[in-house]
Structure 1
Amino acid sequence: MTSHPAFPPPPGARAYRLRTGRGEFAAVDSSPGEGRDVAGVVLMLPGFTGSKEDFRLLHEPLAERGYRLVAVDGRGQHESDGPEHDETAYAQRELARDVQAQAAALGVPVHLVGHSLGGQIARAAVLLDHSPFLSFTLMSSGPAEISVSQQQRVKLLRDALAVMSMDEVWEAIRAMGPPEEVGGPARGFGDEEQMRRRWLGNKPAQLLATGRQLCSEPDRVAELAAVPLPMHVLSGAYDDTWPVPVLDDMAVRLGAHRTVVEGAEHSPNAERPLPTAHALADFWDGTRRG
């Protein structure tokens, strides 16, 4: 079934609902041109308050490199349904099982990419079972909880959600200007009404549960380092959510490939999409050669 997205899909991509063993998830899917070989399939997970549209500027350059990109909204996020008030539905293990189901629905092993919160959910999925994945890229996603300054901002959001409607919280966010983890990189991709529709698509329970996860995530780098997958840590040159030296250290601990995208901050996928796409494709090409 075709969805009717708040944001039109980028050229060459289609929006639909990905049917899985754990329900349907809104997806935007693009492939190389007709007659071209597919070098690999990529599954991308957005961050807190984000959506599949956060990757819209990566579709065309990755298709040019031969990669099929499937970006999804997580459970209770933007255009994917989920319970309104049941936070247990958004426990990290449940979200990780969703990722496993999404990969299974695509029918082939995939290159997994998670941005920010999406990276921590993706990490949990890899630790459950790494066999559906060809590689794992943590994009602007760190080893444990977010920085103190971002924890304070997420707490403000959680406190607001406890006493205000989603509409009222949206007006407050617009008035104060969104922090890095509240508002998402797609805020520059659409007009005010599109962004408001995206915000209102989020389920309050999902925001409360995942906000709590961001502020309390333990360091699981040692567990992840034991997983036999090629790994990649990609970030901008500055990041207030997880400082860049923290991401550098995580990459060393993982034995991971490391990319720093100059001129980008927390969302290199949106701020510097071409060098980000090229760095991703170069890494995946390297795993094929390996």
Structure 2
Amino acid sequence: MTSTIRWGILGAAKIAQTQVAPAIQAARDATLAALATSTPAKAAPFAALAPGLTVHDSYDALLADPDIDAIYIPLPNHLHIEWTLKAIAAGKHVLCEKPIALQTAEIDQLIAARDAAGVVVAEAFMVANHPQLHKVRALLDAGAIGRLCHIEGAFTYNNPDPANIRNNAEAGGGGLRDIGVYPCITARLATGQEPTALRADIQYEGGVDTFARVWADFDGFTMSFYCGMRQGRYQHMLFHGSDGWISLSAPFNAQAYGDCRVEWQEADGITRIERFNSTAQYTDMIEAFGDAIRTGAPLACPLEVSRGNQAMIDGIFAAGDA
């Protein structure tokens, strides 16, 4: 393998076109080399971004391409495990959109397959690479806000379109899997802890969760968040301590949801602000993944961390259905 990671994308999904393909082209030592789609019109924007792009008319053909090192999978949720396992079997490194699985046990399959094949496999949690999360973790570790007491989070958008895959239960749609995963991963990565108890109130439409309120107990602090697919666009995370607080204005979709800043207050009562609007978190994710392939550098969100997040989501569904 060359020092430049040659990427192939499995399917012409919107997130691949608008976020990940440009990030691959912008990342150091990475290039978008191939795309799998049976619809030529869908390939046109990718070809314009990456001249010389190879377009395969099937997913299997892309996996068989010997000139591809890594595969990015933005397929519907219910197809993630199937095609991640197939890509691993083909000897490819794999970056798969979240949720990489629909059940915790499925991630155990991925971990076993990853270890047997000796490849790098990760869930595309771009937030794990964002410096604003690193800032929060550093402030918490330094005791800047005293003892952490409570975390609050929210992530919403309004998407009632019945044709949208997020509203398709058979495709693994629903708000918790699409956006509820973000408050979970942010709290877990910032604190390094797992929940000890969960409660949830979940509302469904057509078998898909459209709104959820969640309460979680951790060792020494609590958490509450809500996520929904029928409310105006909003996201926020707050870490409240005994001596102060840390607030994130755009913790998940930096810039797309407005000014990306970490604002915090310590025991001295002074409010401090650090902005991160120049950060390209998708590009950072691609570069970190490439470093893991080339040098074995640790991932910010390895499959073991993803497994914990899926376990939390599974627990939320179980608590809501109890």
Query: TM-score scaled to structure 2, two decimals?
Result: 0.36
Q: Which has a greater percent of strand?
A: 2
Higher helix share: 1
Q: Which has the larger radius of gyration?
A: 2
